[in-house]
Structure 1
Amino acid sequence: MPNPAVDALTAVLPYIDSWLQSRAGNTRTPGVQAAVYFDGALQFSKAYGFADVENGVALTSDHLFRIASHSKTFTATAILQLFEAGELRLDDPAGNFVPALVEAGSPVAEVTVRELLEHSAGVIRDGLDGDYWQHVRAFPDQAELIAMIIEGGDKALPGEGFNYTNVGYSLLGLIVAAASGRSYNDYVTAEIVDRLGLKNTGPELDALRADEYARGYTGFHTTLDRRPVDHVDTRAMAAATGFYGTAEDLVHYFAAHFPGDERLVKDSSKRMQQREQWLSDTATPGAAHYGLGMIIERIGDHRVVGHSGGYPGHITRSLFDPAAGLAISVLTNAVDGPAAELSNGVLRLIDAALVQTPALSLAAPATARTDIPSARFTGRFANMWGVLDVVQLGERLVSLHPGSPNPLDGLDELEIVDENTLLIRKGSGFGSVGERMIYEFDAGGAVVSVRGSGGMSLWPLGAMGEVHPLT
């Protein structure tokens, strides 16, 4: 049977494509890769910009990104698998698996697996010398990692509060290895990556696929030009930050964390993993919570789960709504890439497409037309003041500003009056609610200009960005 919600989501995907392309260009992000999963399948996968700017290599959906702290979700899933198999308990102390901590008398030997998973163990974040994050030195190997833990000690009492720690998750990688009898990389590859058939995902830099990686770049906060950043092996910190992947693979992976899908872990384990254990910042309204290897946030009416990632030259973000069966992933290859902004924007556009058109208010004109196709009016238009999109979102014809980080900021609802006219029926009072948008068409029905909000003309934005008659 037809599903109106699925139909509405499918119909909005072309505009999501247009919006992502616009925002990638406006933010001068070298490359953006995005994917959307719903109704039990991958529904959208696109790439924008370049995998290698200097050599003009266009980014594709198959290029590999370093997805950094997404690795923590894989590590937590591995721990829960071993918990289900009886190989460990969540309240086991770390020293049971890493005897060197006990031998050194480190207080970290007493923290539990659960406390490490939820970042409440009080373990130092990145060590006393974290310059490996800037490629000043190599990421630590196992011996160096253990020395970092012993040297750094505990900066807070276990259970005292939320203290995010890459070192702690790297320690969890050692625990996975000890409990499973396999290396961390071998375990997660066999029990997570291969189980799901993910062809473009792995726990560490794969030198045999070097040509398939999107090149990373610095941000604009230090120089006027972006500079390339090399990929490096994260060694003993793979469990915290080593993974690579694609947006397509990530939405498939997170779909395996929907309720009812027990390919990786049971629903009981997923409920623990996705439960709000700690508030990340008690002083900030709307701050994210953390579960077991998962970030939990509220975006609009959604309670979303997932993770972000920051690797030298890459910023990434994936989120999923387990109740809705929806997953979104956005990967960028710049250290200031707007992955969070873009993934939030995609979710907001999806929500906007599901909003039903309310009954016409008493103030609406009796002459409102439903026999004229809205496609006649849709498009991207611009003038000196910016860019305006007229688009069909679900049952609503709306105008919005693609240059905004939140695509719904300044949204106006429109109504067809006649073959040449739209009424701005609803929106901000700072705009032009109650006024009309007058279209001029050529003989073939193409839009020549629009007399829009504030009575100012807009013109179709050409493929090369030209706006006529502006130059």
Structure 2
Amino acid sequence: MNTLRTRWKALVPAFLLALSLAVPAAAAETQAAAADLQTTADTAAAYAAQYGGAQSLQYALWQDGEIVLTGEAGTFSRSENRLMTGDELYGIGSVSKIYTTVAVMQLVEDGKISLDAPVTRYLKDFTMADQRYKDITVRMLLNHSSGIKGTGLSGAMLFGGASTQAHDTLLEKLSTQTLAADPGAFSVYCNDGFTLAELVVEAVSGMDFMDYVEENILAPLDLDRTFAPGGDFDTADLAPIYRGEDPRALPQDALNAIGAGGIYATASDLAAFGGALTGTELLRETSLDAMAAPEYARGIWPDAGEPDSLAYGLGWDNMEWYPFCQSDIQALVKGGDTLYYHAGLVVLPE
């Protein structure tokens, strides 16, 4: 633990928090609670920055069709006299997996993908040094049960810019690998599965992954502050990151496995995206229900007690998140980390 604490103190993180509620509130109630809610949120953000050691933090709350609360904590820069505006971009890390899942589910709705079809149907060049790979389905990529050993992010986590190496070489790397378990046996977090899902989206749609995301997810929601490494945005808008007490900002933190963890966004854009998953703007109700179903129950799971912090749906880390589950409120949650950015999305569909 001492080693972990020392390492954490050396990494000065930046946090992005987004909460999406589908619960409509009476106008009078909303106005009466607004001041208290803002104070509570600002206090929580300040404590998160103080005790989490973050250089900066940004949050947003979406409710009943609009962003109703935003805020920031910390400072934008150690060298610029610049106030935070709420328009800064943060790496959302593995929260990107929800965008990938939505893309796959849209193609399922279009009849172009079957969740329970083998990945080899869509990726003809996908092969592994383990014949069980033929049994890996698209669903298994999204619920982390493919049996693929994990994360081949060499060439993906970079400082300074975009690279397509991890995307371009994944199939070659997997071709020499064996599986850790029978496909579908149990779920273990697997980034490579979502890069494979990214490749499936590209193969089926005939589009670059981010082009697909922009056309079919971002544009319909008017989200113009969501990007990926190499995208058309000013990198000076990224929340600066630092190592230890060094006043010099590090170069751009770029996670170049886009479908697994490479997207940048503001908290407001992320919360609005989450809000769209409480309605049918992006997906049909049946698809949303499928994403929020207890996929973790398909494999090995302890018989006693509630699921812990990982109770996988499709894409979601947990679809029965504590403490909401104690009040019979479903909370869908996805966390994400890059080298220096940390993000969280919580969606309460009810």
TM-score calculated relative to the size of structure 1: 0.61
| Aligned counterparts of 2:33 and 2:314: Cα–Cα separation in 1 | 30
Relative to its length, the structure with more helix (as a share) is 2
Which of 316, 319, 329 is the matching residue for 2:343? Answer: 316
2: CA distance, partners of 1:2 / 1:107:
55
For structure 1, list consecutive stretches of 5 or more residues without a partner in the other structure: 324-471
CA distance in 2, matches of 1:18, 1:65: 19
* 1:229 CA displacement: 3.7
Measured in 1, the distance between the counterparts of 2:141 and 2:35 equals: 43
User: Greater CA radius of gyration, 1 or 2?
Assistant: 1
For residues 104 and 153 of structure 1, the distance between their equivalents in structure 2, rounded to whole angstroms, comes to 5
In 1: Cα distance, 2:338 partner to 2:82 partner: 21
Q: Deviations over 1:229-284 (max 9, x none)?
A: 4325544x2111111101101111111111xx221110000000011211697499
1:13 aligns with 2:37: yes
Residue 105 (structure 1) shift: 6.8
Given the alignment of the two structures, is residue 290 of structure 1 paired with residue 317 of structure 2, yes or no?
Answer: no
Cα distance in structure 1, aligned partners of 2:339 and 2:164: 12
What secondary structure does 1:230 align onto? coil
Map 1:183-202 → 2, pairs under 5 A: 183-202=208-227
Q: Which residue of 1 aligns with 2:184?
A: 159
Offset of residue 71 of structure 1: 0.8
User: Which residue does 1:427 correspond to in 2?
Assistant: none
Q: Contact conserved, 1:273 with 1:293, CA < 8 A, in 2?
A: yes
Following superposition of structure 1 onto structure 2, how do residues 212-227 of structure 1 map, counting pairs within 5 Å?
Answer: 212-218=237-243
Matched AA of 2:122: F
RCO higher in structure (CA 8 A, sep ≥6): 2
Whole-Å separation in 2 of the counterparts to 1:142 and 1:22:
38
Q: Which amino acid aligns with 2:314?
A: L
Partner of 1:241: 261
Structure 1 residues 286 and 57: alpha-carbon distance in aligned structure 2, compared to 1, 3 A threshold: farther
* Bigger shift: residues 183-192 or 13-22: 13-22
The structure where strand makes up a greater share of residues is 1
In the other structure, the counterpart of 1:450 is none
Tell whether 2:270 aligns with 1:250. yes
Q: How far apart are residue 92 of structure 1 and its match? A: 1.4
Give 1:28 deviation, angstroms.
3.5
The residue type equivalent to 1:247 in the other structure is: A
Deviations 1:101-120 (A, max 9, x none): 24977643430001111111
Tell me, yes or no, if structure 1 residue 25 matches structure 2 residue 25.
Answer: no
* In structure 1, C-alpha distance between the alignment counterparts of 2:199 and 2:155, rounded to whole Å: 22
Give the secondary structure class of the aligned counterpart of 2:346: strand
Tell me by how many angstroms 1:91 deviates.
Answer: 1.2
- Cα distance in structure 2, aligned partners of 1:43 and 1:66: 22
Letter in 1 for 2:313: G
| AA partner of residue 252 (structure 2) | H
Deviation at 1:125, TM superposition (A): 1.1
Task: Give the 3-state SS of the residue equivalent to 2:71 in structure 1.
Answer: strand
CA distance in 2 between partners of 1:3 and 1:274 (Å): 30
CA contact (8 A) 2:129 2:177 kept: no
Structure 2 equivalent of residue 265 of structure 1: 283
User: In structure 2, how many angstroms separate the alpha carbons of the residues matched to 1:307 and 1:171?
Assistant: 19
What aligned pairs does 1:44-443 form with structure 2 within 5 A after superposition?
Answer: 44-102=69-127, 107-127=132-152, 130=154, 132-133=156-157, 140-206=165-231, 208-218=233-243, 228-235=249-256, 237-258=257-278, 261-278=279-296, 282=302, 286-288=307-309, 289-295=311-317, 296=319, 297-300=321-324, 301=327, 302-323=329-350
Contact 2:142 2:315 in 1 (8 A): yes
The TM-score, its normalising length taken from structure 2, stands at 0.80
Shift, 1:294, TM fit? 1.4
Deviations 1:287-346 (A, max 9, x none): 1311111122132434211311101110111101100xxxxxxxxxxxxxxxxxxxxxxx
**8 Å contact from structure 1 (residues 124, 149) kept in 2:** no
Mapped partners of 2:111, 2:233: distance in 1: 36
Q: Decide whether the 8 Å contact of 1:42 with 1:252 is kept in 2.
A: yes
CA distance in 2, matches of 1:109, 1:135: 36
Give the percent of matched residue pairs that are identical in Structure 1 and Structure 2.
24
Per-residue deviation at 1:43?
Answer: 1.0
Instruction: Report the Cα offset of residue 226 of structure 1.
Output: 8.2
Task: Note closer, same or farther for the CA distance 1:224–1:202 as it changes in structure 2 (3 Å cut).
Answer: closer
Figure out how many residues of one structure are paired with residues of the other and give that number. 315
Q: What RMSD, in angstroms, separates the aligned Cα atoms of the two structures? A: 2.9
For 1:87 and 1:318, the matched residues in 2 are separated by: 28
- Kept after mapping to 1: 8 A contact 2:160/2:252: no
Instruction: Report whether the alignment pairs 1:38 with 2:38.
Output: no
Query: 1:246/1:286 Cα in 2 relative to 1: closer, same or farther (>3 Å)?
Result: same
